[in-house]
């Protein structure tokens, strides 16, 4: 099936005025990496203070799963990935609106445990006392891909492979550690920061993994490309950057 490219041609101001006058609400569907959940929910509340007629609906999950949904035709206006690989895949298939992609944020990988555990460094994961380690599934979860890169760099991945509990997204890794279902896990620093039930015991060594970049873009089949572009500009604003910073993200 041949897809026709869409181009932003309507005046955003005219569109917003028309919608407001008619009383119609616009639904903006955003598929975003699970690690962004708390920050984006706070940002959307601020956005809605100025855009009462825009209803933002989030679909949070692993970037790989969200990418596959878009490839299968899921109705999405904006995609925010936790790595460039999945955004590149959509761009290579011409499934993104041209010239709408931006690098939004950066993050870090850390090793976490429950508060009462005495693990202090990556090498201790080899100990017999550690039997279960949660990471995201490396093939579909960016946090899992980065975790594998770190452990490969430390020459630990193959040694620890039998201990891995693979999670569907980074928030599931966090939940496994919080509930004591695993002895340790690898998440983004921002995920560790939102939980009082875990502690960061080690950070990934510099250059042990590829850069963690969060790109954002408008999906080719977006039904509201003008509104989507306006929301992305809000994400790039200092107001949104301050919120992301509060959750531990690094502005790109």
Which pLDDT score is estimated for 14?
A: 44
pLDDT of residue 2 exceeding 70, the answer is no
Which pLDDT score is estimated for 1?
A: 41
pLDDT of residue 22 exceeding 70, the answer is no
The whole-model pTM stands at: 0.87
pLDDT of residue 21 exceeding 50, the answer is no
Nearest partner of 144 among 64, 199, 78, judged by Cα: 64
Nearest partner of 229 among 48, 6, 12, 60, judged by Cα: 12
- Work out the percent of the chain whose per-residue pLDDT is above 90: 89
Which pLDDT score is estimated for 244?
A: 97
Instruction: Note the pLDDT tens digit of each residue in 32-88.
Output: 999 999 999 999 999 999 999 999 999 999 999 999 999 999 999 999 999 999 999
Instruction: Note the pLDDT tens digit of each residue in 69-82.
Output: 999 999 999 999 99
Q: Where are the alpha helices (DSSP H) in the chain?
A: 12-22, 37-50, 63-71, 84-92, 142-153, 157-160, 170-178, 189-193, 225-235, 238-246
Contacts of 219 (CB under 8 A, 6+ apart): 70, 76, 77, 78, 79, 90, 95, 96, 97
What's the DSSP call for residue 219? B
Sign of CA dihedral 8, 70, 84, 186: positive
Q: Averaged over 123-140, what is the pLDDT?
A: 97
Beta strands across the sheet bearing 213-218 = 54-61, 26-33, 78-80, 213-218, 102-106, 250-251
Half-sphere CA count of 44, side-chain side, radius 13 A: 18
What's the DSSP call for residue 159? H
Instruction: Note the pLDDT tens digit of each residue in 161-215.
Output: 999 999 999 999 999 999 999 999 999 999 999 999 999 999 999 899 999 999 9
Secondary structure class of 172 (helix, strand, coil): helix
| β-strand partners of 250 | 106
Q: Averaged over 88-101, what is the pLDDT?
A: 98
């Amino acid at each position: 099936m041949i897809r026709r490219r869409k181009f932003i041609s309507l005046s955003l101001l005219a569109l917003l005025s028309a919608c407001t006058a008619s009383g119609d609400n616009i639904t903006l569907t955003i598929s975003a990496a699970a690690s962004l959940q708390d920050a984006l929910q706070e940002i959307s509340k601020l956005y809605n203070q100025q855009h009462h007629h825009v209803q933002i609906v989030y679909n949070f999950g692993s970037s790989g799963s969200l990418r596959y949904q878009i490839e299968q035709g899921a109705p999405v206006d904006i995609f925010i990935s936790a790595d460039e690989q999945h955004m590149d895949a959509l761009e290579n298939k011409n499934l993104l609106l041209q010239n709408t992609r931006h690098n939004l944020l950066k993050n870090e990988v850390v090793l976490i445990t429950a508060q009462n555990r005495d693990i202090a460094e990556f090498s201790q994961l080899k100990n017999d006392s550690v039997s279960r380690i949660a990471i995201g599934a490396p093939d579909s979860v960016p946090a899992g891909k980065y975790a594998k890169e770190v452990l490969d760099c430390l020459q630990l991945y193959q040694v620890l492979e039998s201990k891995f509990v693979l999670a569907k997204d980074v928030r599931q890794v966090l939940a496994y550690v919080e509930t004591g279902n695993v002895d340790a896990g690898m998440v983004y620093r921002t995920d560790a920061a939102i939980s009082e039930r875990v502690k960061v015991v080690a950070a990934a060594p510099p250059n042990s993994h590829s850069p963690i970049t969060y790109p954002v873009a408008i999906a080719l089949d977006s039904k509201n490309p003008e509104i989507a572009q306006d929301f992305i500009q809000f994400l790039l604003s200092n107001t949104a950057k301050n919120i992301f910073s509060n959750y531990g993200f690094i502005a790109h």
